[in-house]
Amino acid sequence: MRNIFILIATLLTFSACSNNYQPDPRVKIIGHCSNSAMLVSDVNAMMRDDGFMQTQITGENLTSSYFKVEYKIVWFDENNFKIDSILSNWAEIPAYAEQPFYINVTAPSNKAKTFRLYLKKEGNLICEQQSN
Amino acid sequence: MRTTIKLALGSTLAIALLTGCGSAKTRNIDIHNDKESSAVMGLDYRDFQGAAQSMVQSLINSGAVNKPGGGRYVLVVSRVINDTMQHIDTDQLVKKMRVALLRSGKVVVTTAVGVGGAEDKMSMQTRTALRGNAEFNQRTVAAKGQMIAPDLSLSGKIIQRNITVDSSTQQVEYYFQMSLTDINTGLAFWEDEKVIGKRGSNDSVAW
C-alpha cells in the first residue's frame, strides 16, 4: 500500500514538473540569458490565398522587467535556398514584463516555403553568443 | 645631459599627446552588425533601413498589393516630401521599398512616368528620336501604345519635430508616412506611419 502511494506521488510530481512545450526547430533563441528571459510558446504558419506564407510567433517575457526582443526571419524557397530580402534584417518588438509578445510577419515573396526565426534579448552583451 | 633628457622626454610626450588627440581612424562600417554610435540625432542608414523594412512588411501584410485575379500591379513612385531639417535624398527610403516590392513578385515599377517627368527619360526619348529614323530598323523601335500606365502610386512624407526637454536635452522625432493610392479611384489602399524618436544633448545637431 505504501509503495502505491509513493508511486502515485512520484508520478504526480513528475507530471507537474514536466514541460509540455516542444521547441520548434524553426525557432532559435540566441544567447544563454535570452533563453531564460523568454520562451516561445507557439509557432503558427499558414499559406495565404495570394501565395504568401504568413507566420505568427507567440513568445513570453519571463522576467519582471521590460525589454526589447530582436528578431530576424530568414526565408527559404522550395529548394531550401535562402531568399534575400530587406525583411530578413533584424527588427525589434517590445516585450512587457511577464506578458506575451507576438511576431506577425509575411514572407517577402510567394516563393517562400519555410523559414527560420532567430530571437535575442536586446543589449544582452554578456550572454550574447552571436549576432547574426 | 639632464636638459637633453628633459627635451627628449618632452618631445616624446608632445608627440604622444598629439597622436592621441588626432582624429579617429577611418574604418569601414560593418553594416550588418553596427551597434556603434547608434545615438546620432540625425537620420542615418539604419533609420532608413528600419523604416523601409517596417513599411514593406506592413504593405505585404495588408494584402494591398495582391491583385485580384493574379498578375502584378504597376506602381509609380510619386512625391515623397522631405519636411526635415536634413538634406535627405528620399530615394534612401523609396529605393529600398521598391526593390523589396519588386522582389515580392506582386508589383512592377514604371520609370516612364514621374512627378517631375519620367524617371528614366530614355524610354520616351528612344521613341521620339528613333521613330521614323531611317538609320534604325523600325521593327526594333518601340511601337506606339506599348507602355503600361500605372495602377498604384506610392507617396509619402518625412517629418521632423524638435522638442526641448530641458536646458541640456533635446528630443527629435521623425515621422515616416507613406500612402499607396489606387490611381483609378483615388482611394488610398494602404497607409502607415513609423516614428523614430531620439533624445540627446542640445550640443548635438539634427540637420
Following DSSP, what letter does each residue of B148-207 receive, concatenated?
Answer: PPPSEEEEEEEEEEEEE-SSSEEEEEEEEEEEEEETTTTEEEEEEEEEEEEEEETTS---
Q: Where are the domains of chain B?
A: 43-110+151-207, 120-147
What was the pLDDT predicted at B20? 53
Domain ranges of chain A: 23-121
Taking Cα atoms as reference points, which of A34, A53, A56, A54 lies closest to residue A102? A56
Q: What is the CATH number of domain A23-121?
A: 2.60.40.3230
Taking CB atoms and an 8 Å limit, are B103 and A85 in contact across chains?
Answer: yes
DSSP single-letter state for residue A50 = T
Range list of H helices, chain A: 2-17, 32-37
What is the model's pLDDT at position B202? 83
- The pLDDT of residue B39 is 62
Mean predicted lDDT score pLDDT of chain A: 81
Candidate from B61, B96, B106 with C-beta closest to A86 = B96
Give pLDDT, residue B21: 54
Here the ipTM equals 0.75
CA distance B167 to chain A (A): 29
Calculate mean pLDDT across residues A94-116. 95
DSSP letters, B40-97, are -SS--HHHHHHHHHHHHHHHHHHTTT--TTSS-EEEEEEEEEEESSS---THHHHHHH
B50–chain A Cβ distance below 8 A for any pair? yes
Return the higher-pLDDT residue of B25 and A95. Answer: A95
Listed as ranges, residues in chain B with pLDDT below 70 are: 1-23, 36-39, 205-207
A87 contacts B100? CB cut-off 8 A: yes
Instruction: List chain B residues with CB under 8 Å of A85.
Output: 100, 103
When pLDDT is averaged across residues A98-125 and rounded to a whole number, the result is 90
Minimal C-alpha gap between A97 and chain B (Å): 22
pLDDT at A29: 85
Residue A19: pLDDT above 80?
no
Q: Are strands A67-76 and A82-83 parallel, antiparallel or unpaired?
A: antiparallel
Q: With an 8 Å Cβ cutoff, is B14 touching chain A?
A: no
> Rounded to an integer, what distance in angstroms lies between the CA atom of residue A112 and that of residue A72?
15
Q: Do B60 and A91 touch (CB under 8 A)?
A: no
Q: Say if residue A12's pLDDT is above 50.
A: no
Q: State how far the Cα of B81 lies from the Cα of B149, in Å rounded to an integer.
A: 23
Mean of the pLDDT values across residues A40-53?
Answer: 92
Cell, residue A78: 522550395
Q: Does A110 score more than 50 pLDDT? A: yes
Of the candidates A90, A85, A99, A80, the residue with the CA atom closest to the CA atom of residue B102: A85
pTM of the model: 0.79
CATH number listed for the domain at residues B43-110+151-207? 3.40.50
Amino acid making up residue B7: L
Q: Distance of CA B14 to CAs B2, B8, B20, B25, Å?
A: 18, 10, 10, 19
